[in-house]
Amino acid sequence: MKRNYYPMMKDSFFALALFLLVVCQIFITRAQTNNETLEINLTEAGKLSSKITVEQQKAVKHLTVKGSINVDDTRFIRKLKSLETLNLGEANIVEFKRSETLTYPAGVLEAGTFDANKTLKQIVLPKTLQEIGGSAFRNSVLESITLPEGLEKIGVYAFAFCEKIKTISIPGSLKVIEPLAFNGCTAAESLTLAEGLKVLGDRMFANCISLKAVLLPKSLERIGEKAFGNCKKITEVTLPPKVSSLGSAVFNGIPALEKLIVEPLEAPTVPLGAFDEHIIKQVKLYIHTAAAGSYRDDAVWSEILNFYEIETGKPLANNSVLADNANVFVANGEIHFSGVKGKVVALYHVNGEVVFNQIVPNNSITLPVSTGVYIYRIGNTVGKLVR
């Protein structure tokens, strides 16, 4: 009796085909995985594009580059459309001379390198990096970045509108941070500024609406205009002892701000009108008792109503001087008197000009005045005001 081997052969061919299909799939998967993660040690700057195949260029998600690189390499990296993480920690950006008149310096990440990049989420920058060009990462989807110690300059708009960065850490080696460097980083909740940093640029952290805590380094000397403007969740700020000047509206638009501790013994210079109504009327200003005279006599700081002693936490009279149950203070370009019904109120400019001198029939009176120093009298009490 003959046996029919055809069904058995069919089953064998089917099993073999299935086995080969699985094996091919494994190789394809491994190939895809290899294409997604690459580590390249570059021996000659400018040759990165020759080390990555066309297939890898399309697939690579995680790239580590070591060795010397130049502007041609960073421009090539920018073209990798699937790249999510980039490690340049062991890379070194070297000088590249394009022509007799065009040279790209060493240690500088070119302006606009990853501007509006929509895939790169994490990057470790070269340890030898000295400068990040303007708009280098503007409007990108970066979630984290490592800024190396030794970095000296961050260009204008460098990280502006990176709406997914949650933490910002600034090394103390930075000498120049140009305006708007981190403007609009709306997810950033914490900010670390290392010792050594001296200047914060204009609008540097403006519109970082999730930022809650700000710890400024003792080395800080100047804060640019609107540096923390519209950082809606900040509740407290301490200005360290070396701060000598503030730009206009540094802390304006911060409704949560309750406490401003100012450690300098001399009032930092501030432009007229630098403080908004919330700061003038609601924020508690803490200063050293020995510095009270400097802040009282300053045309801008004296507008703040709520002065407190750093040493004791107790209220400290600024330009609000109680006399005969009356009160006088400067705010919004006006001198306000209250509790003065039936009293003689007089106000003189130091040049001798009489601004006001009569019995007040109502409980309060407001006098708009120009910038200057004034002498007031309420009944028998005499004092000085600075507008």
Q: What is the pLDDT of residues 99-128, one digit of tens each?
A: 989 999 999 999 999 999 999 999 999 999
Tell me which H or E stretch contains 280.
helix 277-281
CB 123 within 8 A of CB 146: yes
Q: Which two tokens stand for residue 45?
A: 């700057």
Task: Please give the average per-residue pLDDT across 314-320, as a whole number.
Answer: 65
Q: State CA 77 to chain mean position distance.
A: 27
Secondary structure of residue 30 in the 3-state scheme: helix
Q: What pLDDT is stored for residue 323 in this prediction?
A: 46
Q: What whole-number distance in Å separates Cα of residue 296 and Cα of residue 46?
A: 61
Task: Give the chain's largest Cα–Cα span.
Answer: 136
Q: What whole-number distance in Å separates Cα of residue 202 and Cα of residue 223?
A: 7
The burial class, CB within 10 Å (0-12 / 13-18 / 19+), for 118 is exposed
- 8 versus 147: the higher-pLDDT residue is 147
Residue 304 reports pLDDT greater than 70: yes
Q: Any long-range contacts for 29-36 (C-beta under 8 Å, 24+ apart)?
A: 32/59, 35/59, 35/60, 36/60, 36/61, 36/62, 36/82
Lowest mean pLDDT among 15-29, 61-75, 281-295: 15-29
Q: Which residues contact 172 (CB under 8 A, 6 or more apart)?
A: 149, 194, 195, 196, 197, 217, 219
Q: What whole-number distance in Å separates Cα of residue 69 and Cα of residue 51?
A: 13
Q: What is the pTM of this model?
A: 0.69
Residue 32 reports pLDDT greater than 50: no
Residue 26 reports pLDDT greater than 50: no
pLDDT-above-90 percentage for the chain? 58
Q: What pLDDT is stored for residue 24 in this prediction?
A: 47
φ, ψ dihedrals at 113, nearest 5°: -55, -50
Q: What whole-number distance in Å separates Cα of residue 53 and Cα of residue 248?
A: 53
Which residues in 32-60 are b (16+ Cβ under 10 Å) and which e?
A: eeebbebebebeebbbbeebbeeebbebb
Q: CA 287, 290, 294 angle in degrees (round to 5)?
A: 70
What ranges in 37-184 are assigned the alpha helix state H?
A: 54-59, 71-78
Q: What whole-number distance in Å separates Cα of residue 123 and Cα of residue 128?
A: 15
Q: What pLDDT is stored for residue 14 in this prediction?
A: 55
Residue 130 pLDDT class (50, 70, 90 cuts): very high
Tell me which H or E stretch contains 64.
strand 62-69
Residue 10 pLDDT class (50, 70, 90 cuts): low
CB 160 within 8 A of CB 138: yes
Residue 320 reports pLDDT greater than 50: no
Q: How far is CA 113 from CA 74, 92, 132, 133, 158, in A?
A: 7, 16, 9, 8, 10
- 327 versus 133: the higher-pLDDT residue is 133
- 322 versus 343: the higher-pLDDT residue is 343
Residue 19 reports pLDDT greater than 60: no
Sign of CA dihedral 72, 78, 80, 83: positive
Q: What whole-number distance in Å separates Cα of residue 300 and Cα of residue 387?
A: 7
The string of pLDDT tens digits covering residues 152-172 is 999 999 999 999 999 898 898
DSSP state of 56: H
Secondary structure of residue 259 in the 3-state scheme: strand
Identify residue 254 by its one-letter amino acid code: I
Q: What pLDDT is stored for residue 322 in this prediction?
A: 43
Lowest mean pLDDT among 180-184, 350-354, 360-364: 350-354
- 181 versus 14: the higher-pLDDT residue is 181
Q: Which residues contact 348 (CB under 8 A, 6 or more apart)?
A: 354, 355, 374, 375, 376
Place of tokens 């009108």: 273
